[in-house]
């Protein structure tokens, strides 16, 4: 193949000359109209969703024409600088550097300002607002400024920056030169930014100092058709086909999350087939790639999982894992945070993991310490046979394991209420390692955690519930398990009921019984 081969990118913005990519601007259909109408707007989306790629493509598209001048400016270097006396000069210098990358702005007199003179120049020119005014005047045509990583700004620096933009926007209505259109781009909507400048940590909601925004947009994930289109680019370039079932699995595993879509394809092409384009990418390849990515947890996934330690994230993740039944407000800041992080999404009014890969990564991340302990304490797994799993024997063994190790590593554990669910998953993972997998179905309001255990081509329906929910309505609980049995297409199900009262004698908690619901056996294990 002549020239540079394109590849599936999983690090940094996409370059159309190097990477297979989709039109990011097509995922923001209103953006061109907003710029034409000279509006100010917000774009927010989860990490690794294509925001920067979209902005750079938009900048290049605008600058290739003759009607406007566009400037891209990342504010990431100002992250964590809370004091505006230090933070605003950093923002000022970042805008100057960005202007220097645009041919039509490089000759602006403000570009001659030396770094050591920025503080003095800022005072003379009226700060960020004055600098943007000067650049707008020099451009000679409408200036579009695309601010990326805006949510890196914090506290009083964020407030000062927004106020200067607002003041400039107001001055524009009085004939003063100022950018015709400004985009504020980050992981979160502007209304959700926290300005910790008061003891009560009041948000920037309706009292935002930057209240001239027209619209807030979310950069959506890929559709199934777009995933197929992206993979087809590789086929057209190399001749290597992605079998239809492989594409379908990629869509199912990722729900279109751009990083995961690219990561799966990259692993199949580069790691499994070692760039041997004569071999098609199969469903088995896609499944293997999914497992490898989950186990290896790259930088993006690792940073996402680190957020699980934050109390605000834990306050949502834990009840979702437990399936707690309570109403939530989608505008509540904790809820908005997990949605903006891309960890969860709303489906029919319920909060659920954003995609099956994230669900599995969350489960494995939280149970990793317990799984290591289980590997030490359970050296052999006789319940795994050539024909499948002895699930009855496995859960009897788990009861003994739980009785002996219920307090294992519990003291420092942050997800205390979900701890029993997590230890059960760790025990199952220990048994399944190398030969099976767990499909985790969790959702707020579900009342339980569903675990679809897959092993040697067989499926096992396991549901996990807290004792108080079982005591409240056993028949409803059994009916739920029966429904899960039907969804998996199996002949029997297992229900594990955990009693969180650690003061209760174990002999009063540990037991099991067999029930029958609509002709199908349900095995109930009390722990």
Q: Which residue has the higher pLDDT, 373 or 394?
A: 394
Average pLDDT, the chain: 86
Q: Which residue has the higher pLDDT, 464 or 215?
A: 464
* 173 and 40 Cβ atoms separated by less than 8 Å: no
Q: Which residue in 261, 216, 218 sits closest to 242, CA to CA?
A: 261
Q: Which residue has the higher pLDDT, 1 or 388?
A: 388
Residue 357: pLDDT above 90?
Answer: yes
What pLDDT does 116 receive? Answer: 55
Residue 160: pLDDT above 70?
Answer: yes
Split at pLDDT 50, 70, 90, the class of 142 is: very high
Partner residues linked to 462 by β-bridges:
451, 494
Q: Which residue in 386, 370, 366, 368 sits closest to 378, CA to CA?
A: 370
Residue 144: pLDDT above 80?
Answer: yes
* 88 and 73 Cβ atoms separated by less than 8 Å: no
Give the length of the chain.
527
**Mean predicted confidence (pLDDT) in 266-289:** 97
Q: Where are the domains of the chain?
A: 25-218, 224-296, 367-526
Q: How many CA atoms lie within 13 A of 158 on its CB side?
A: 24
Residue 286: pLDDT above 80?
Answer: yes
Out of 202-216, 279-293, 379-393, pick the least confident.
Answer: 202-216
What pLDDT does 72 receive? Answer: 96
Residue 523: pLDDT above 90?
Answer: yes
Residue 404: pLDDT above 90?
Answer: no
Residue 399: pLDDT above 90?
Answer: yes
Burial class of 268 by CB neighbour count within 10 A (0 to 12, 13 to 18, 19+)? buried
How do strand 458-466 and strand 493-498 relate by DSSP bridges?
parallel
What pLDDT does 2 receive? Answer: 44
Q: Give backbone dihedrals phi and psi of 493, rounded to 5 degrees, phi first.
A: -140, 165
Dist CA 109 CA 445 (whole Å): 60
Residue 200: pLDDT above 50?
Answer: no
What Rg do the C-alpha atoms of the chain give, in angstroms? 27
CATH tag, 25-218? 3.40.50.300
Q: Which residue has the higher pLDDT, 215 or 82?
A: 82
Residue 226: pLDDT above 60?
Answer: yes
Q: Which residue in 47, 526, 523 sits closest to 257, CA to CA?
A: 47
- 88-130 pLDDT, tens digit each: 989 999 998 999 889 888 778 776 565 555 555 555 456 899 8
**Mean predicted confidence (pLDDT) in 356-381:** 85
Q: Write down the number of H helices and E strands in the chain.
A: 19, 15
The pair of structure tokens assigned to 224 is: 């199934």
What pLDDT does 407 receive? Answer: 73
Dist CA 91 CA 76 (whole Å): 9
What pLDDT does 408 receive? Answer: 66
How do strand 215-218 and strand 344-347 relate by DSSP bridges?
unpaired
Task: Output the pTM of the full model.
Answer: 0.85
Split at pLDDT 50, 70, 90, the class of 296 is: confident
Residue 502: pLDDT above 80?
Answer: yes
Dist CA 114 CA 121 (whole Å): 9
**Mean predicted confidence (pLDDT) in 57-86:** 92
């Amino acid at each position: 193949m002549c020239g540079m081969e394109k590849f599936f990118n999983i690090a940094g913005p996409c370059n159309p000359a190097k990477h297979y990519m989709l039109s990011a601007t097509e995922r923001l259909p209103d953006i061109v109209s907003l710029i034409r109408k000279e509006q100010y707007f917000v774009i927010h989306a989860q990490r690794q969703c294509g925001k920067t790629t979209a902005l750079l493509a938009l900048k290049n598209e605008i600058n290739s024409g003759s009607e406007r001048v566009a400037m891209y400016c990342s504010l990431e270097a100002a992250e964590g600088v809370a004091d505006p006396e230090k933070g605003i000069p950093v923002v000022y210098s970042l805008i100057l550097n960005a202007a220097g990358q645009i041919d039509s702005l490089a000759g602006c007199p403000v570009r001659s300002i030396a770094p050591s003179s920025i503080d003095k120049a800022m005072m003379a020119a009226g700060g960020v607002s004055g600098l943007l005014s000067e650049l707008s005047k020099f451009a000679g045509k409408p200036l579009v400024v695309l601010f990326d990583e805006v949510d890196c700004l914090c506290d009083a620096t964020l407030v000062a920056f927004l106020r200067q933009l607002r003041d400039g926007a107001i001055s524009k209505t009085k004939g003063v030169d100022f950018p015709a259109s400004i985009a504020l781009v980050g992981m979160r909507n502007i209304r959700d930014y926290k300005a910790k400048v008061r003891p009560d940590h009041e948000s920037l909601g309706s009292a935002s100092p930057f209240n001239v925004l027209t619209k807030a947009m979310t950069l959506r994930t890929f559709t199934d058709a777009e995933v197929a289109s992206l993979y087809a680019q590789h086929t057209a370039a190399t001749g290597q086909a992605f079998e239809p079932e492989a594409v379908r699995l990629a869509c199912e595993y990722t729900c279109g999350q751009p990083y995961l879509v690219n990561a799966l394809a990259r692993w199949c092409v580069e790691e499994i087939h070692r760039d041997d384009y004569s071999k098609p990418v199969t469903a088995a390849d896609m499944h293997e790639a999914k497992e490898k990515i989950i186990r290896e947890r790259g930088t993006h996934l690792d940073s996402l999982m680190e957020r699980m330690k934050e109390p605000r994230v834990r306050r949502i993740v834990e009840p979702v894992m437990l399936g707690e039944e309570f109403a939530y407000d989608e505008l509540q800041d904790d809820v908005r945070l997990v949605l903006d992080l891309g960890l969860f999404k709303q489906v029919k009014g319920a909060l659920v993991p954003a995609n099956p890969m994230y669900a599995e990564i969350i489960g494995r991340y939280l149970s990793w310490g317990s799984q290591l302990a289980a590997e030490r304490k359970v050296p052999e797994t006789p319940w795994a046979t050539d024909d499948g799993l002895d699930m009855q024997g496995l859960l009897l063994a788990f009861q003994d394991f739980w009785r002996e190790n219920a307090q294992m590593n519990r003291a420092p554990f942050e997800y205390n209420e979900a701890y029993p669910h997590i230890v059960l998953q760790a025990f199952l993972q220990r048994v399944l390692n190398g030969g099976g997998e767990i499909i985790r179905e969790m959702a707020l309001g579900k009342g339980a955690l569903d675990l679809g255990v897959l092993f040697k081509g067989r499926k096992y329906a396991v549901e996990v519930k807290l004792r108080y929910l079982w005591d409240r309505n056993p028949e409803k609980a059994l009916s739920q398990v029966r429904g899960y049995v039907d969804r998996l297409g199996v002949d029997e199900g297992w229900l594990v009921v955990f009693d969180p009262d650690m003061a209760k004698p174990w002999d009063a908690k540990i037991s099991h019984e067999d029930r029958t619901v609509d002709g199908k056996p349900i095995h109930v294990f009390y722990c």
